[in-house]
Each structure stands twice: as C-alpha cells, then as structure tokens.
Chains A and B, each alone.
Chain A
Amino acid sequence: MDPFIAVLTIFVLAMIVGFEVITKVPPILHTPLMSGSNAISGITIIGSIIAAGAKYTTLASILGVIAVTFATINVVGGFLVTYRMLKMFQKPKSDQKEKKS
C-alpha cells in the first residue's frame, strides 16, 4: 500500500474512534476532558526528543530544546492538573476529610 494511503487510513479511523469515544464523555467532565486531551496532544514530545538529541545544527539543537520544554510543560502540566481535578470528582469519603480541606 502507498505509505500516504496507509497513514491517511490511520488518520480517518482514529478520527472515527475519537468521535465515538468522546461523545460518551458527560458534560460534567468536559473540563478534565480538555486538560487531559491537552496532555495527550503533548505526544509531539517524541518528535522533539529526537530533534533535540540528534545534534544536526546549532539552530536545530536550540529549537529542539525549546520544543522539548514546551511539550514537557504540556504533558506534565496536563496530566497533573487533570489528576487534581478528577480527584475532586471522587465522592467525598467522609465528613472528616472534608473538614480538613
């Protein structure tokens, strides 16, 4: 198969899976959905890692570091803040815990 058709197929199928899965997310969780999907869009980090580590030109190295930094902010910040939010959605265990907070 033509490599372009192969990646295009993956793209189209992934979009469909995305629509199917994400329409099931209830409105109550829309903010965590945004921050969580945000973290996942930080997957660009894998491209930036190679760029930063390969040392082609000085410019490439500098841009590589910036790209890794940006993507890491996105990944680390995104997953952490989502975790923080989702923890709040868990049922309060007892009133004692509540008084503490």
Chain B
Amino acid sequence: MSQALVNIAYLISALLFVFAFKGLSHPRTAIRGNLLGALGMLIAIVVTLMDKSIVSYELIILGFVIGGVIGAVFALKVQMTAMPQMVALFNGFGGGASALVAALAFIEAMEIGKTIGTQETVATVASGIIGAITFWGSMVAFAKLEGLIEERPIRYKGDQIVKIILAIASIVLGVFFGLEQNINYYWYLIATSAVLGILLTIPIGGADMPVVISLLNSYSGLAACATGFVLNNNVLIISGSLVGASGIILTNIMCKAMNRSFLNVLFGGFGEVVAGADEDKVYGGKVKSASPEEVAMLLENARRVVIVPGYGMAVSQAQFAIRDLMKLLETKGIEVEFAIHPVAGRMPGHMNVLLAEANIPYEKLKEMDEINPTFEQTDVSIVIGANDVVNPLARTDSNSPIAGMPILDVDKSKTVVVIKRSLAPGFAGIPNPLFAADNTLMLFGDAKKMVQELINALKES
C-alpha cells in the first residue's frame, strides 16, 4: 500500500474520531458515535498491519490476544459503581503504551542509523515523562478508588520540594538523552517520572478524584500526541489532541464545581484546612431524626420531590431501590426529578451512569444550574449519601474551606430528608448546618436499606 493511501486511511480514522465525539453531544446519538470511533480505530489498525516494515505477526497477534482478552473481561465484568477505577486503569495503560512506543521509535532509529532531529528528541522526552506520570499516577488512583491504599490525602513535610526536584531531574535527564543520544537516559527519566506520578497522586483525597481522573485522561491524550510528534504521524497527533482537549475541559469543569483552582487541587487540598466550625455548636440538640413512616407520610402529601444522590448512593448500590421509589411516587401522581452536582461521586458524570443503569430516564436527571431555581417549589428534597455538595456554609461562611463552592440549594425546599449513616463530616471535614436546619429530617441508616423501608412504608399507607 502506498504511503499516500495509508495517510488517507489515517485521515478517515481521524475524521471518524471527531464524529465520535460529536455523537456524544446527545444520549440518542452517542452509541453511534462510539461505534464510529471504534470503526476509525479498526481502519487505522488494519492499515498499519499492512506496513512493509512488519516482518512477523506472531508478537502482534500475541499482544492483541492478551490485551483483547484482558480489556474485554474488564469491560464486561466491571460494576457501574467501579467505573472510576476502571477508567483510571485504562488511562494508565494508554499512557504507558505511548511512553513505550516513543522509546521503541528511538531504538529503531538507532538500529537503522537514522539521525534524530530536535522535534523527535523533544517529543520523545515529553512522551516519556507524560506517559510514565500517566501510567503510575493512574495506578495509584486505581488503588485508591479500589480501596487498596488509603483514600485520605497522604502528606508529609517537604513533599512539594521532592516533587519539584523530581520534575527537574526528569527534564535534565531528558536533556542528557538528547545530547548523548543514549537510550539509558530515557529509562532513568522514566524512573524519575514514575516516582513523580506516584507522588503527585498519593496526596489527593477521594472527593478530589474527579479532577485527578480528568487530568490523567488529558495526559493520556497528550502522551499519544507527543508520540505522534515522534513518529510524525498525523492521526496520533489529532486523536491525542482531541483526548487532551476533552480531559482539560473536564478538569476545568470539575475545578469550577468545587470553586478551587487547578493548582490548589494538585498541591493544596482540604487536608491542610483546619475545620473552623464546631460540631456541637452546629448540631447541639437541633438535629431531628425521623422514621421511614414519618417520611412516607410527608411524601404522600408532596406534589414535587427532588432526589439528590451522592457518593453514598454508589457505595450502598442504592440506585435500583431509588428507581423503585421514583416509580412508586409517580404512580401516586408526584413529580420526581434528580439533582446532579458536577462533582457528586468519584468521576465526572458518575451519578448519571448509575441512575441510567437503574433505567431512570435521562430527562429526569437535572444539572445544578437547571434545578437550583426549582427547589423553592419543591415539597420534599431527599438527599441520599451526599454531604458537602448540599452544605449551605458554602454560601454563608466565607472562612469555610468550601466557601464559594456552587451547591445544590436543597435547604430552600419545604422539607429536606437526609438519608445518611451518621452525622460524620464529608470529605471537607466540616459539619453541615443543613442537618440541623428547622426543615430538615434525618433518616439515619444505609441508603439502600432506608430507601427500601421508605417504599414499604409508602405501600402500607
């Protein structure tokens, strides 16, 4: 196949990827978009398999089989609640592959005695650094989300200096690699970047995970992009940029939803903030606990109910019970909608996927800006496993660590029912005055169990 034909095929692939992203602009067209993306990938792979420098296919097929089986098993077995760690894991493999391909391109050039220009050298170094950070950062994120290592922020004195030294070391090694044209420097650089990737992710706590996963997503794209500059391959550059842009946009949305700067999430974090408000002062004698029967009576008389899910819903797998509650309320003529905070859960869109899994129509899932004005006309808001995203301190207390964070204004509805195990603080480590508000009833217990008891109570009445 001539090079021109190969490049045209790659161009078609790149176009299909753009259409894949375009398809994702609506749930109706999204499946087709995903298929177009897969088709683009297939075309790129088939065309590449015809490359004349390939002398044997055994190793390629071996990699296809092993990778294909692992990927398919993971993808088909994973629970929807475990989607964040799944995405983190896949991200890591993408970044790792990019770093390896850049190294291989260098080894190849050395073998055939091709001189390596500045563009290729710089791109190889970039691919190595970003790829290694992506791989190891993703592995740490995976381990945290899976509960294999401590999810709380882990910090020690002088951690920022260590990171800066590692970053400089990686770049210096990159310069040596360029000057000496010796692959060993590349492996040293991979090692320092790997440690950097681990150290960058270790201090980040659970609720900041949406930002980290988005960022790693962006990195995996940028690593592919850098590899494209190494190989002078357009389809790699284009796809890498698309993915990079996607990750940057998501990172930005997540940061805005927490009213924190990107650097603050990476280098600061809630861990450093001393909790200001005293729990006893906020809760002392004011928290009202209710039984499922009492809440059921409230719901009986409601016209409009808004359900606010948080990470607690994912943990207790309550989405199916919530769907049943929704159906039951609707048969009684009550309007039910869902309020989704952008950072609810552990990754962008986490709650939407879980609710979709339970067959809750996406029209009922409302974004923060859309649902906030409607809380005043809402009779009952049910907060299930969410905390910081409904904390009114964000609006009122400018010294609070979550000051200025956009929240769901559930406190404006007539009655708020909070389903929660205990009064334990959320990720921000601060008490929530919502729980002690006059119009709030606490329903203490596991999310799924409590929703089921609500359903039973509603059926009996």
Contacts and interface: CB of A to CB of B under 8 A. Distances in A.
Interface of A: 3-4, 7, 10-11, 14-15, 17-19, 21-57, 59-61, 63-92, 98, 101
Nearest to A71: B97
A10 B238 CA distance: 7
B124 to A, nearest CB: 12
Contact of B347 (A19, A31, A56, A57): A31
Interface stretch (B101-109, B169-177, B329-337, B444-452): B101-109
B41 A35 contact: no
Nearest to B352: A28
Contacts of A27: 253, 340, 342, 348-349, 352, 367
Interface in B101-146: 101, 103-105, 107-108, 111-112, 119
27 contacts: A18-B21, A22-B245, A25-B21, A30-B250, A31-B350, A33-B349, A35-B86, A37-B243, A44-B223, A45-B97, A47-B236, A51-B100, A53-B55, A56-B111, A64-B59, A65-B59, A70-B100, A73-B74, A74-B67, A74-B93, A77-B72, A78-B90, A81-B86, A82-B34, A88-B80, A88-B357, A91-B361
B413 to A, nearest CB: 22
Interface string B348-384: 1110110011010110010100000000000000000
A59 B111 CA distance: 12
Interface of B: 13-14, 17-18, 20-22, 24-28, 30-31, 33-35, 37-38, 40-41, 44-45, 48-49, 51, 53-57, 59-60, 62-64, 66-68, 70-72, 74-76, 78, 80, 83, 86-87, 90-91, 93-94, 96-98, 100-101, 103-105, 107-108, 111-112, 119, 213-214, 217, 220-221, 223-225, 227-229, 231-247, 249-250, 253, 340, 342, 347-350, 352-353, 356-357, 359, 361-362, 365, 367
Which of B18, B96, B213 has its CB near the most chain A CB atoms (within 10 A)?
Answer: B96
A43 B235 contact: yes
A31 B352 contact: yes
Given A18-B246, A47-B101, A67-B100, 20 more contacts: A7-B237, A11-B229, A22-B246, A22-B249, A26-B25, A28-B349, A28-B362, A31-B87, A36-B37, A40-B20, A41-B98, A45-B97, A47-B227, A49-B54, A51-B108, A56-B107, A57-B107, A63-B107, A64-B63, A90-B31
